[in-house]
Chain A
Amino acid sequence: MRKMKLLVAAAALAISASAASAQVKVGVIASSTGPISVVGLQQKNTVALLPKKIGKYTVDYIYIDDNSDPTQATKNVQKFLIEDKVDAIIGPSGSPNAVAVLPFIADAKTVMLAPVGTTAVVLPMDDKKKWVFKTTQNDNLVMDALVANMKTKGVKTVAFIGTNDPLGANFGKAFKAAIEPAGIKLVAEETFNRADTSVAGQSLKIMSASPDAVLVGAAGATTVLPEVTLVDQGYKGTIYQTHGAATPEFLKLGGKKVEGTILAASPMLVQSQIGDDVPSKASGQAYIDAYTKMYGVAPGTFGANVWDAGLLLERTIPIAGEKAAPGTPEFRAALRDALENVKNLTGAQGVYNMTPADHSGFDKRSIVTITVKDGNWLLLK
């Protein structure tokens, strides 16, 4: 009897060992609690929709919440790398959190698919960042689309107001780089804090420089205050927003005052209005359908950044699997090389063409120009 038990145990061990070799482990970090949960909750929900079987491998997703805290994100990453020995990481949700975990990813030579906004995780590309791939549109694509719209409207002078944090600073930098070749002049540059209850001073400064247009560089609920203040003070020019404003919150809090705003964002935001000429239409619809089927509500664009991470893994894991077995450093290196060579992969928001210098891989097809009309998003053609 005892021998029997041992035999069974040994057999079970052998089976699980062979199963382990045919299994790919992916660690997922999303902020389903804390301030970043505005973004993170959708991303966490999307984990259940990611492909569970890729080629001959079963994929095991290990999910941990980081409570929106960068220090917790670094602890989670260390757990994934040291204890679970994952083959890839998806996450975290917040830009500061992603920046904080960079050194650990690079030391462990494991890829991270980051669904975050900041370009700081992939640009400028260096030895550490080469392990990171970003599944969102780079700031410069958004700015190029906005500046293109400004040119058609004959905008000659422009002002920028951004949040006094890394996000706002990066928007400002990308915007300045985009307007220079277009010959548009920046006549005022202001900052404000997320917690400010009034931006009247900054708004007046902008008004006194009388620019043809103003760009607000912020994210989420914070985008509303500068725009509403400018409108209240009687600003008549066009107000532009980045994809940071592409949330239902912006429409709800801004109300009538944000009518006519122009922003550049993912085509998924106006999924029902885009034509078949947009390559990501079908993939975006597939994601929306899968999410709606499981949760009863349609997802925003943030969840799609995690969905796309799943598509990237689906393409690259079989390629890496030809070189080495999952769980080995060789597999992780092969996965990185495969990701860097992804060409023409259509995601929910655009088409990926990765290069050693560009680890985001999107081009201008991942951005559409949108306006606000009657309290809803309207695609500009």
Chain B
Amino acid sequence: MNLVIALFLAQDGIANGVVYALLAVAIVLLFSVTRITFVPQGEFVSFGALTFVTMQDGQRPGTLPLLGLLIILHLIADLVGGWRSQRVGSLIKSSLRSVAGAAIVLALAYAATSFQTPLLVKAVVAIAVISAAGPLLYRLVYQPLADASVLVLLIVSVALHFVMTGVALYIFGPSGQRSAPLIDITWPVMGVPVHGQTLLIIGVTVLVIGLLYFASQHTLYGKAMQAVALNRTGARLMGISTALAGRTSFLLAAFIGALSGVLISPTTTILYDTGFLLGLKGFVGAILGGLASYPLSALGAVLIGLLESYSSFFASTYKEVIVFSLVIPILLIQTLRQHRIKEDDDHGGEALPAQLDLSPEALQRRRQIKTGLSIAFVLAVAAAPLAFSEYTIALLNYVGLAAIVALGLVLLTGVAGLTSFAQAAYVGIGAYITGYFSSVYGISPWLTLPLALAVAFVLALLGSLITVRLSGHYLPLATLSLAIVAYYLFAGLEATGGQAGMSGIPALSIAGIPIQSPKEFYVGIWGALLLLQLGMSNLLDSRPGRAIRAVKSGTIMAESLGVNTWTMKIAAFVIACLRRRWPV
């Protein structure tokens, strides 16, 4: 590697990094004001870019009717939500006022797409349409959940990501797009060609981040948003509307996303799902900056861009592994630094369960109902193979597998209050181990299955030793990174068959007869499910089980009662991972 290459890579890294920086700033803004870990930030990029390119092709983009739909849904949500508490007249008036901006943008966009317009006008229209959709999205998806825990908001965000990718695929189609460049000039700097577009992106990024920083420090709105970020209840008592703050921050986030999309659309091929990885890298940058400071997050994002650029030169297969592996130690350091401050905040908004009737008769009755239902369920499962066709049984097998997965997640998330996206990685490890020993050494799957379980157990234990120290929303973020790392690592390694994966893994067999018909699988899957269900109920009623349940309702409380939190968190994690081994 010589100096020219180093400069070249630096230029590429910065060009990518500033886009990550824009997204990182938007993510930090959303997180600090609304406590939403906004996973779909990258989707705004795809939407913005594809809207822009579709207009260049002389067509009316599908995002326009989409915006119209959002406006109508917004009005309906307002009317349905508020008809009891407000007078109809004032309700309609306030509701119309809140969508007025979006409606004007929509009308102008329809007008602009009816004529031939210059490229710049198209860019502005595309950005305006997506920006207008931001606050509507907040009103529809997040405002009803404004007081939910960070974890709930994160899970909703993941769901919204899938919805938005699906919508993008539907309205823009699966083919890639590329825009005409806004500035088509190149200057040579020390033998390295620097593109005008790159300079434009850097300039705009610096401007946006500067403006945001200035606005948050020196304007009334900025200060109000900061107040919301610092203390929601306090801000509300001072007469600041948290809903307005939320809508404003979504407006800004959507604006930043669409702007990045329009800026990068001439430099690369944009597909309907291009934004997701961009957004994730913005996230890693934001995490580097502690999810709090704009300049630090922007700096972190540029570092990610540089790291990515250099690693794509030296080890392109493991690029993502390198970038996303960074997340875990950083999150760990941050958790250790701000030990447990967030804990109470996370559980603050959760509603208490309704008071249960605890009289002996009621308990007795509930137990009877529970036993009755369990027996009925077991009988129904047993009777199904007799009653249904083979194809229905095959479908029920998928249901059973999903139920086993759900059981693991219930234990992990529902009971212990931990969230993991890395479960699939553990499934993969188990499958690869079974596959490797069975196909390469010809060992019976009956022997390799316990081996896979044991290895997954050890790995889950090691993984959880690291990740379980992370509290609150750090844990799901770390496990998400872990899942991405595992995906690219398995794909890159020789032993796992690389991208081709493994085949020729022999089927499980009993007394020499391979298990292959849907009914045989049905017995195995649903039998395992029932056993696991039985085992889990017993586990939860045992002493460690009750301790696991206590972890969710506050680490500090459980600890003061003498429960070692870590041990319990790890136990929950490992048990959940093991549970996922069987279907492999």
A residues engaging B (CB < 8 A)?
34-38, 71, 75, 78-79, 82-83, 99, 102-103, 107, 120, 126, 128, 164-170, 190-202, 204-205, 208, 220-222, 224-225, 232-234, 249, 253
Contact = CB atoms under 8 A, between A and B. Distances in A.
A83 B15 contact: no
Given A200-B12, A201-B311, A35 B516 contact: no
A169 B178 contact: no
B174 A38 contact: yes
Interface string B11-36: 01001100100000000000000000
Interface residues of B, number: 56
Contacts of B8: 200, 204, 233
Nearest to A225: B269
Contacts of B492: 164
A107 B8 CA distance: 54
Contact of B9 (A204, A249, A253): A204
Q: Which residue, B269, B271, B274, B517, has most C-beta atoms of chain A within 10 A?
A: B269
A107 B390 CA distance: 14
Chain B interface SS verdict (over half)? helix
Interface string B516-529: 11100000000000
Interface of B: 1, 5, 8-9, 12, 15-16, 19, 169, 173-178, 193, 264, 267-269, 271-274, 276-278, 308-314, 316-317, 319-320, 389-391, 394-395, 398, 488, 491-492, 498-501, 503-504, 516-518
Contacts of B503: 99, 102, 120, 128
Contact of B174 (A35, A75, A224): A35
A193 B273 CA distance: 12
B9 A200 contact: yes
A35 B168 CA distance: 11
Given A75-B395, A191-B317, 7 more contacts: A34-B169, A75-B398, A120-B500, A169-B499, A190-B316, A197-B274, A198-B267
Contacts of A102: 503
Contacts of B175: 38, 220-221, 249
Given A82-B518, A166-B499, A224 B269 contact: yes
Contact of A200 (B19, B309, B398, B501): B309
Q: Which 4 A-B pairs have CB atoms at the shortest separation, nearest pair first? A: A221-B176, A201-B312, A200-B12, A169-B499
Contact of B316 (A38, A194, A202): A202
Contacts of A34: 169, 174
Contact of B178 (A99, A202, A224): A224
B276 A166 contact: no
B256 to A, nearest CB: 16
Contacts of A168: 499
B395 A221 contact: no
Contacts of A170: 499-500
Nearest to B312: A201
Contacts of B271: 194-195, 221
A106 B133 CA distance: 50
B499 A253 contact: no
A199 B15 CA distance: 12
B177 A198 contact: no
B313 A204 contact: yes
A253 B500 contact: no
Contacts of B268: 196-198, 225
A222 B15 contact: no
Given A38-B174, A78-B394, A220-B175, A165 B313 contact: no
B518 A164 contact: no
Contacts of B269: 221-222, 224-225, 253
B174 A36 contact: yes
